[in-house]
Amino acid sequence: MQFRSTAARSGISVALLLCLGLVSSCAGPGRPFTKSMTLGGKKVSARTLNRGRYSYITHCQACHGMEGDGKGPAGYALRPPPRNFKQGKFKFAAVAAGQLPNDEDLFRIVKYGLHGTAMIPWDEVPDRDLLDIIQYIKTLSPRWLDSTPGTPIVPSPDPWGDARRAEAVTRGMKVYHGLAQCLLCHPAYAPAEDVNAASLELSKREAPLRPDAFHGALKESDYGVKLMPPDFTRDHIRSGEKLPDLYRTIASGIGGTAMPAWKGALPEDDIWAMAYYVRSLIELKGTPQADARREALIASHAAPVGTKAASTSAEALVPAAASTAGTTAN
Ligand code: HEC
Ligand code: HEC
């Protein structure tokens, strides 16, 4: 669901005014913090936590709820739903999926928001207040009392660079379809024979397409809702579309969802190549080319092998960046 930031902010100001008039009901559950706490292995003062709670009530509880359970009045029926902080689970941190995020992750997510969701950028709130809120959120789940954040996944230097962009996209296309199994959840963007060829080359095995392979496949999650893995040629990317953002997402996976972490499981060159490939698909978003590609792929899959549609030129289906430099998908 789209949420215009102005609408969100004015809604929240109303909530704040109500709070000012009804301080007792807005003071939140529990008493003020009187002692420091160790959260994620770090000592946090009572003063920080009290300030954090105040700012949380002002800016965040409308969706995330007074108790942090994701059931705030403005969060009702939002899809994706606001995070329930009692779970202590997070999606977009630069740590292996499932581990607790570092403060840098929480700060980035809160400050810049999650594009295409109700979680708008909170960049007008002073950084200091955001940092206090981040500490306060940790008091809402017991996970922070007995676990520490994961080791940060730092991007390795980009081994491709602009000069080898087309090569990276071609390699990424093969890894995406033939090795990393991205297309088990996300759409395939190449005809069946190219997917199979990539799989034979990189994994030494046949890879038949799943039914409805040119659309995402709905997946279970830990967040009480099923999630549709995005089609990069038409859906929003939430946590950043730049190459280093895509590297981070692919290397770290997405916590609490089916999407696994790839750091360590694939060579760095291949993780970066997939970032380039996904980036090339994102660049097609909103163009008539994107829809034409999808329709051609669906037609090629539906048609019996050997017909004209089935042998659709793979080159036409590879993003422009890969074909302009004279490289092909095969
Ligand atoms: C208008 C509703 C709304 C408000 C207000 C809001 N959020 Fe969110 N928030 C969401 C939604 C929706 C999601 C889930 C996005 C998703 O799952 O992709 C979310 C997710 C999050 C996450 C989880 C990110 C992750 O990687 O899993 C954090 C942390 C977060 N919000 C913090 C905050 C903080 C801090 C504030 C106040 C400064 C705030 N939110 C205010 C709607 C809101
Ligand atoms: C087992 C299923 C699964 C596999 C395999 C998978 N993903 Fe995902 N992916 C998901 C789901 C589910 C989401 C959406 C999460 C959500 O809605 O919060 C997602 C989201 C994404 C996003 C968007 C992140 C954002 O910021 O919005 C990117 C980029 C992505 N996947 C890339 C890949 C790549 C590249 C591969 C292969 C290396 C891959 N995924 C493999 C399930 C999967």
Task: Report how far ligand 1's centroid is from the alpha carbon of 85 (Å).
Answer: 10
User: Which residue from 185, 195, 281 has its CB within 8 A of the most atoms of ligand 2, so it is best to mutate?
Assistant: 185
Query: pLDDT grade, residue 30 (50/70/90)?
Result: low
User: Considering the entire predicted model, what is its pTM?
Assistant: 0.87
Which segment of 68-82, 186-200, 256-270, 307-321 scores lowest on mean pLDDT? 307-321
Buried b (16+ CB within 10 A) or exposed e, 274-302: bbbbbbbbbbbbeeeebeebbebbebbbe
Q: What's the pLDDT band for 301 if we cut at 50, 70, 90?
A: confident
**Average pLDDT of 123-129?**
98
Residue nearest to atom 41 of ligand 2 (CA): 182
Q: What is the mean pLDDT of residues 63-74?
A: 97
Which residues does a 6 A CB cutoff place in the pocket of ligand 1?
A: 3, 8, 12, 59-60, 62-64, 74-75, 78, 80, 82-83, 90-93, 106, 109-110, 114, 117-119, 122, 125, 133, 238
Q: Is the CATH number of domain 6-146 1.10.760?
A: yes
Q: Which of 259, 269, 271 to mutate to test the pocket of ligand 2 (most atoms within 8 A of CB)?
A: 259
Residues β-bridged to residue 102: none
Question: What is the pLDDT at residue 326?
Answer: 34
- Residue 29: the pLDDT is 55
User: What mean pLDDT value characterizes the chain?
Assistant: 87
Place 5 in a pLDDT band, splitting at 50, 70 and 90. very low
**Probe target for ligand 1 pocket from 58, 114, 124, with the most ligand atoms within 8 Å of CB:** 114
Nearest to 88, CA basis, from 104, 70, 110: 70
List pocket residues of ligand 2, CB cut-off 6 Å. Answer: 91, 176, 180-182, 184-186, 219, 227, 229-230, 237-239, 246, 249-250, 254, 257-259, 262, 274, 278
Residue 8 has pLDDT above 90, yes or no: no
Average pLDDT of the segment spanning 293-297: 93
| Separation of CA 96 and ligand 2 centre (Å) | 14
Name the closest ligand to CA 101.
1
* Range 7-32 average pLDDT: 47
pLDDT, residue 300, reads 87
Could you tell me which residues are beta bridge partners of residue 227? 219
pLDDT at residue number 186 = 98
Q: ∠164-229-115 over CA atoms, to 5°? A: 75
Per the CB < 8 A criterion, the answer to whether 122 and 108 are in contact is no
Reported as type and span, the H/E element at residue 37 is strand 37-39
Query: pLDDT digit string (tens) for 226-270?
Result: 999 999 999 999 999 999 999 999 999 999 999 999 999 999 999
Q: Kindly state the average pLDDT of the residues 10-17.
A: 44
Q: Whose alpha carbon is nearest atom 11 of ligand 2? A: 229
Digit-coded pLDDT (tens) for 195-210: 999 999 999 999 999 9
pLDDT level of residue 15 (50, 70, 90 thresholds):
very low
- The answer, yes or no, to whether residue 69 has pLDDT greater than 90, is yes
SS3 assignment, position 178: helix
Please give the distance, rounded to the nearest whole angstrom, from the Cα atom of residue 191 to the centre of ligand 1.
38
Place of tokens 């038949």: 208
How far apart CA 158 and CA 242 sit, in angstroms, is 12
Every domain of the chain with CATH number 1.10.760 lies at 6-146
pLDDT-derived band at 323 (thresholds 50, 70, 90) equals: very low
Tell me, what's the pLDDT at 304?
55
Q: Percentage of the chain with pLDDT > 70?
A: 82
Q: Shortest CA distance to 230 belongs to which of 250, 209, 202?
A: 250
Number of H helices and number of E strands within the chain? 14, 2
Using alpha carbons, select from 67, 68, 283, 76 the residue that is nearest to residue 189. Answer: 283
Task: Show the 3-state SS of 227-290.
Answer: ECCCCCCCCCCCCCCCHHHHHHHHHHCCCCCCCCCCECCECHHHHHHHHHHHHHHHCCCCCHHH
